[in-house]
Structure 1
Amino acid sequence: MADVLFFEKPGCQGNQRQKTLLAAAGHTVHARSLKAEAWTAEGLLAFLGRLPVPEWFNRSAPAIKLGHIDPDALDVRQALSLLLENPLLIRRPLMQVGEERMVGFDAAAVDAWIGLRGVELPTGNIEACVHGTASHGSCGSAGHGEDHARVGNH
């Protein structure tokens, strides 16, 4: 069983489903607010550094969905500046176990990393935003179906 440091948007139902799945598999989840964390460029790069810059972003964030930010047009410096200024733009969850880190929540990748121990997955996309139409767009969960990356000391 692992102690998982889990950076989330508090109140995000998608992140809640992910934490519930981890706990059901026997892991201890230490949830932290992505927005309240005192992020540094170095701290973010420890999670994101192996991914291409566009994959650093939460594609469901309103500023991205509305076209105000184009992650495909940003270099590393520009991207880090935007993410540090507005952490809700960061793809989530960010998870850490020991020195290893993961971006996003792909059940197969999480299972291979720390094990989900045969826990039954909920119906639908475990990464997708889960909310009613009244609050659609407020969560901005990382439900964009991109590949997930794990980084760390192996």
Structure 2
Amino acid sequence: MPHVLFYEKPGCGGNARQKAWLEAAGHTLEVRNLLAWPWSADSLLAFLAPLPVAEWFNRAAPRLKSGEVVPEQLEPEAALALLLAEPLLIRRPLMEAAGRRLVGFEPAAVAAWLDSQALAELDGRRTEGCAANQTGRPCPAPET
């Protein structure tokens, strides 16, 4: 099973579930704080570049939910600058294994990426977003 580099928001219930699913499927993880990581434009684009700009963003982020930030209206350069300035806006998790990268946790995509039947069985479950937001409570404050 591939070892997975997993960039998370510490304290995020969604990321905790995702890590548990990966470990239950037999993967080992190296977990990093997405918010404190010293991102450069190139290192972040290594994850994001294959995706449309709108898919770079965490839809549960307060600035997106309020409509203050509308990813569909941003050019790539402006979007990247915003994400580098405010990593809380980055869609998570960011994952890397065997030299390949993935953004977000869509079960079918993760299962294909890691060639994992156990992860394929998660398809149809809510696997992204903050668990606290599903109950109406705010997400835990980011640790720095």
Name the TM tier (shorter chain). Answer: 0.7 to 0.9
Residue in 2 aligned with 1:149? none
Counting only pairs closer than 5 Å after superposition, residues 109-120 of structure 1 correspond to structure 2 as 109-118=109-118
Q: State the SS of the aligned residue for 1:63.
A: helix
Q: State the SS of the aligned residue for 1:51.
A: coil
How far the C-alpha of 1:105 sits from its partner, in A, is 0.5
TM-score relative to the length of structure 2: 0.88
Amino acid at match of 2:116: L
How far the C-alpha of 1:122 sits from its partner, in A, is 9.4
Amino acid at match of 2:87: P
Q: State the SS of the aligned residue for 1:67.
A: coil
Residue in 2 aligned with 1:77? 77
For residues 30 and 3 of structure 1, the distance between their equivalents in structure 2, rounded to whole angstroms, comes to 8
For residues 123 and 72 of structure 1, the distance between their equivalents in structure 2, rounded to whole angstroms, comes to 26
How far the C-alpha of 1:134 sits from its partner, in A, is 5.8
Residue in 2 aligned with 1:144? none
Counting only pairs closer than 5 Å after superposition, residues 1-154 of structure 1 correspond to structure 2 as 1-118=1-118, 121=122, 124-131=125-132, 133=135, 135-136=137-138, 138=139
| Cα pair distance change 1:44/1:110, threshold 3 Å | same
Aligned residues: 139
For residues 108 and 48 of structure 1, the distance between their equivalents in structure 2, rounded to whole angstroms, comes to 18
TM-score relative to the length of structure 1: 0.82
Superimposed CA distance per residue, residues 52-85 of structure 1 (whole angstroms, 9 cap, x where no aligned partner): 1111111110001101111111111110110000
| Percent identical | 52
For residues 115 and 79 of structure 2, the distance between their equivalents in structure 1, rounded to whole angstroms, comes to 32
How far the C-alpha of 1:115 sits from its partner, in A, is 3.1
For residues 54 and 26 of structure 1, the distance between their equivalents in structure 2, rounded to whole angstroms, comes to 32
Q: State the SS of the aligned residue for 2:118.
A: coil
Query: Residues 25 and 115 of structure 1 are in contact (CA less than 8 Å); yes or no, is this contact kept in structure 2?
Result: no
Query: Residues 58 and 89 of structure 2 are in contact (CA less than 8 Å); yes or no, is this contact kept in structure 1?
Result: yes
